[in-house]
Amino acid sequence: MKWFSALVMVLLLALMLYATSDLPDHADPQAPANTYVSPTYIENSVKDTHTPNVVTAILADYRGYDTLGETVVIFAAGLACALVLMKKAGEKEDR
């Protein structure tokens, strides 16, 4: 069983190495991810929000909806921890 999963991993490694041949080169300024939407953010963040840090401007302003959902996720995770681990009224202390 262990050998089988190791074999699957090696095959997957070969498949992924083959797939990386389609990815852009290291630090390529003309890569699709670097030319589509991010220049707009860099050029407009100071004008729109007076915030030099582009990461903060995107995080809280341009994509605030995303951040709101993500904060809800971590708060829900904290509540889930509390609900799973909280002691009931009759249970004794220290597990």
Partner 1 sequence: MIRQRYQSIIIQSICSLLIPFIQLFAIYVILHGHYGPGGGFQGGVLLAVSVLLQRLYLGKEVAYQKFPPKLALALGAVGMLIFGLAGIVPMAFGGSFLDYAYLPLPGVSGAELRYLGILIVELGIGLAVFGTLVLIFDNFIGGRW
Partner 2 sequence: MVELFIARYVYLMIVVLLIIGLYGMLGKRNLLKKLIGMNIFQTAIFLFFIEGATKAGGSVPVIDQQLGMAAAQYVNPLPHVLILTGIVVGLALTGVALAFILVIYRAYNTLDDKAIMKEMSK
- Binding status of residue 78 toward partner 2 by CB under 8 A: yes
Tokens of 22: 């389609």
**CB of 8 or CB of 87, closer to partner 1:** 87
What is the CB neighbour count within 10 angstroms for residue 63?
A: 13
- Binding status of residue 93 toward partner 2 by CB under 8 A: no
Q: Residue 34: how many CA atoms within 13 Å on its side-chain side? A: 9
Rounded Cα gap, residues 8 and 44, in angstroms: 47
Interface residue list for partner 2 (CB under 8 A): 2, 5-6, 8-9, 12-13, 16-17, 20-21, 23-29, 31, 33-34, 37-39, 41-43, 45-46, 52-55, 58-59, 63, 66-67, 70, 73-74, 77-78, 80-81, 84-85, 95
